[in-house]
Amino acid sequence: MPVEFRQWLEMNGVDPREVNLIRHTPPRSDGSVARHLPVLAAQERSVFLHYQGVQSPNREASLLKRPLVASFAVNENGDTVFCGVQRRAEIRALMSDRYFGCPEGQRLRKLGNMRVDDGPRYFFVWEDVDVFVPFIGYIAIDWTGGTRAIIQHADTKDYSISALSKDSLLVPYRRASRDMVLSFDELLAIPSTWRAQLAEWRDIYLITDASDGARYVGSASGLENLWQRWNSYRETGHGGNMLLKKRDPTYFHFSILQLLDADKSIADVLAIENSWKARLRTRRRDHGPLGLNDN
């Protein structure tokens, strides 16, 4: 017989009458911070809680009445995944300069277009309740009655626990190299579980500018291989390439053309890279402004 979420709260010493349920539903479009909430909940807790600290005025009223919140995020498969139980530690006046002036706010701003207005609004400081931390990402519930981000009362809803997973439901499953096409938006919040595998791969990769189809071919053969190269694009938007510097990286898409043996010599890697440049005509001298390789 399925266990109701409110029963599970009671089993762990929490009165459901003190708990609001909040469900974050990421939009499908790029450029939104909310799109990254599942990964942030799994891997960047302080950033996730900072985001959750600001709610619309009508939801603020609900949060003021109860000291606890159980948060959930909808993953790429549509599962409503448990993101922990938090206790309200403090309530502050919402000030945009203070909100974006800390590392968490700066990270959120980099991940998408955000705007918060100064008071009379509140910023809620949330702290994780320790007993629930081990279950973050590993439990899903059957959420009914609405698909938007919404607040409900834990004691009045019969939401049953629908999944108990051995793998985190918040982290997207890593795609095969042939299927990996990442937007710049996705690259900014790439799961940490992917990074170790990307660091193992020497390879030839392609950057396509979706605004006009311009293309750049590059290679990865450094200490951390593909992760080292793609991380440089995460941090700078251009990776040091002069022609990429002139473009808006939010239109970039990253894909893998060819995986190479880890012991492949740098000379061999560069030779294969040059072969791809010639076949795809990505050099500026071959393809005009749509070629983004200058050598």
pTM for the full predicted model: 0.83
d(CA 142, CA 78): 11
Share of residues in the chain with pLDDT > 70 (%): 96
Confidence class for position 1, pLDDT limits 50, 70, 90: low
* Average pLDDT along the chain: 90
End-to-end Cα separation, the chain, in angstroms = 65
pLDDT at 57 over 90: no
**Whole-number pLDDT of residue 194:** 86
Each domain of the chain, given as residue ranges in start order, spans 5-164, 177-290
For 96-136, the pLDDT digits (tens) are 999 999 999 999 988 886 788 877 889 999 999 999 999 99
**Whole-number pLDDT of residue 224:** 85
**Whole-number pLDDT of residue 264:** 86
pLDDT at 282 over 60: yes
pLDDT at 29 over 80: no
Q: What is the CATH number that goes with domain 177-290? A: 3.40.1440.10
d(CA 230, CA 177): 14
SS (H, E, C) 136-165: CCCEEECCCCCCCCEEEEHHHCCCEEEEEC
pLDDT at 39 over 70: yes
Confidence class for position 92, pLDDT limits 50, 70, 90: very high
3-class secondary structure, 187? helix
For 134-181, the pLDDT digits (tens) are 999 999 999 976 665 588 999 998 899 998 899 899 998 777 778 889
**Whole-number pLDDT of residue 99:** 93
Share of residues in the chain with pLDDT > 90 (%): 61
| Virtual torsion, Cα 216, 220, 222, 223, nearest 10 deg | 130
d(CA 76, CA 253): 19
Considering only residues 261 and 102, tell me which one the structure prediction assigns the higher pLDDT. Answer: 102
Confidence class for position 25, pLDDT limits 50, 70, 90: confident
E strand map for 79-136: 80-93, 122-128
pLDDT at 30 over 60: no
H or E element in which residue 199 lies: helix 192-200
Is-cis flag, bond preceding 103, omega within 30? no
